[in-house]
């Protein structure tokens, strides 16, 4: 039996996904729950598992293709059942889908190429490459598992075809040269007097490049492919390449090479513009930032704190954490300090229900950590920070950050945040105006921790300092409140032992 499998809803509200890569090829044997594809949603890359035990019959989507949820992406031959009655893997409805009805009316057509010797198995990428290179994939000998045709096989076949064509072209040129060099011209092809050469005639003639021996020697000396030089002289109805044409072509090539060298020297090594698809997580970030910036009027408060004691405290606890296999950074201290301050300033741990005209004060503390990844900004959420000790927070945070960077994090691990921290200082810089992670009310930004001039007893000293930037939704929180909140956080960071009282 042929089992169709639709792209499932891999996350709440996801309408489509980009098929990043296939983890199987046609003909592969698979088991239930074995990952068969990687799909990128607007939040993360997820693995799509096989729903059955069987073998892969057909891959119906190309890598890089954006597929709507509900579209059939793969079909399976189910073990122990005949492969002639397609069914769709779906638990939502017992009614036949449009795809099922089409399959019922027409025999299933696989992209397995049938040859006199049997079936040829090839991955979609190999089939696509064959089409681009003009290679008949049915004539390609596969070297992959079970005789599967790989991209390398297709390229080898293409190179072989080019080599054969080159041999044939060389033989034709040698024959034409021999005829041209005979004193009386030999058996030259002729046209009726007054007739004009057609485009097809010109193309056929140009495959046999005619030139005098001296012209050929000149082309060799200049390193020019004679077949690429325009034929500018006609003799007895035949187009010949002249020495002047070779010289002009060589000069044009030299000018082009000089222009390329100038572009490289100027740093122009590629196209002036490049278009990159605006989709996936990049588009999601853009929409979220746009919504937040245009919905919540932002105000950003800046300040700096001297953190000598924080550095000493972290150094003392770092060894203890390492003994337990945990990497302790400064971030857990910041999380604890923020949560302690949020308890005294609850309107910063809130959201605005605009439909009902209510401010929702939250008595739980789920802190999001903004993480820069190769694919864009992601915000894993450490849940219930107020109920965890420093090492628990550190361990959980490190795991979530690693998942975010590997794109293995789940949607649930990035939801239900009540307040966010962003550490732009890890890259460099002191202050910023971070955008609120709407519908949250505030976001806390950390600058780079480094030594700066500090006045101590009327003397200027180099002390470790930490700049901070706090953006708030001015509809809910006033400037005085955010300043008081920031001052309390900084007090905890300046005297981290105060956190032991929390």
Active-site residue set? 474
Torsion of CA 227, 231, 234, 237, to 10 degrees: 50
Encoded tokens for 307:
């953190």
* Phi, psi of 207, rounded to the nearest 5 degrees: -70, -20
Sole residue written with tokens 């297709």: 154
Q: Which of 113, 112, 95 is nearest to 104 (CA)?
A: 95
SS (H, E, C) 11-74: CCCCCEEEEEEECCCCCCEECCCCEEEEEECCCCEEEEECCCCEEEEEECCCCCCEEECCCEEE
Encoded tokens for 136:
């008949």
SS3 105: helix
- DSSP calls for 113-156: EEETTEEE-B-HHHHHHHHHHT--GGGPPP-SGGGPBPHHHHHH
Contact 56, 48 (CB under 8 A): no
Encoded tokens for 488:
């309390």
Sole residue written with tokens 């927070």: 393
Count of H-run helices and E-run strands, the chain: 11, 24
């Amino acid at each position: 039996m042929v089992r169709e499998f639709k792209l499932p809803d891999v996350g709440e509200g996801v309408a489509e996904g980009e098929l990043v890569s296939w983890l199987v090829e046609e003909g592969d044997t698979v088991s239930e729950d074995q990952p068969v594809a990687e799909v990128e949603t607007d939040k993360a890359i997820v693995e799509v598992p096989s729903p059955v035990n069987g073998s892969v019959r057909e891959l119906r989507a190309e890598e890089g293709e954006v597929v709507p949820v509900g579209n059939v992406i793969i079909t399976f031959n189910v073990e122990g059942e005949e492969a002639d009655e397609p069914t769709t893997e779906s638990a939502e409805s017992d009614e036949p889908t449009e795809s099922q009805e089409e399959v019922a009316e027409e025999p299933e057509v696989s992209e397995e190429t049938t040859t006199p010797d049997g079936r040829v198995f090839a991955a979609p990428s190999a089939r696509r490459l064959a089409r681009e290179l003009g290679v008949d994939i049915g004539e390609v000998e596969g070297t992959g598992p079970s005789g599967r045709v790989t991209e390398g096989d297709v390229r080898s076949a293409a190179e072989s075809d080019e080599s054969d064509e080159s041999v044939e072209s060389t033989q034709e040129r040698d024959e034409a040269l021999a005829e041209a060099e005979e004193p009386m011209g030999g058996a030259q092809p002729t046209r009726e007097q007054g007739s004009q050469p057609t485009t097809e005639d010109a193309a056929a003639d140009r495959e046999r490049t005619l030139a005098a021996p001296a012209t050929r020697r000149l082309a060799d000396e200049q390193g020019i492919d004679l077949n690429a030089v325009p034929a500018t002289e006609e003799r007895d109805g035949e187009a010949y390449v002249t020495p002047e044409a070779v010289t002009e072509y060589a000069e044009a090539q030299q000018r082009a090479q000089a222009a390329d060298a100038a572009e490289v020297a100027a740093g122009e090594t590629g196209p002036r513009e490049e278009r990159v698809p605006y989709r996936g997580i990049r588009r999601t970030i853009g929409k979220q930032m746009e919504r937040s910036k245009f919905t919540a009027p932002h105000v950003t408060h800046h300040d700096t704190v001297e953190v000598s004691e924080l550095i000493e405290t972290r150094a003392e606890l770092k060894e203890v954490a390492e003994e337990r296999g945990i990497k302790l950074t400064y971030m857990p201290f910041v999380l604890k300090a923020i949560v302690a301050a949020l308890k005294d300033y609850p309107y910063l741990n809130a959201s605005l229900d605009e439909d009902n005209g209510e401010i929702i004060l939250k008595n739980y503390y789920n802190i999001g950590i903004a993480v820069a990844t190769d694919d864009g900004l992601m915000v894993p959420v450490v849940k219930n920070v107020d109920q965890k000790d420093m090492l628990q927070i550190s361990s959980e945070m490190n795991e979530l950050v690693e998942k975010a960077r590997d794109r293995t994090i789940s949607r649930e691990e990035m939801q239900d945040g009540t307040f966010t921290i962003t550490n732009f200082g890890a890259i460099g810089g002191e202050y910023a105006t971070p955008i609120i992670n709407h519908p949250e009310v505030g976001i806390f930004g950390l600058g780079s921790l480094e030594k700066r001039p500090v006045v101590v007893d009327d003397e200027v000293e180099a002390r470790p300092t930490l700049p901070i930037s706090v953006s708030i939704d001015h509809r809910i929180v006033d400037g005085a409140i955010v300043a008081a909140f920031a001052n309390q956080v900084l007090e905890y960071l300046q005297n981290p032992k105060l956190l032991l009282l929390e």
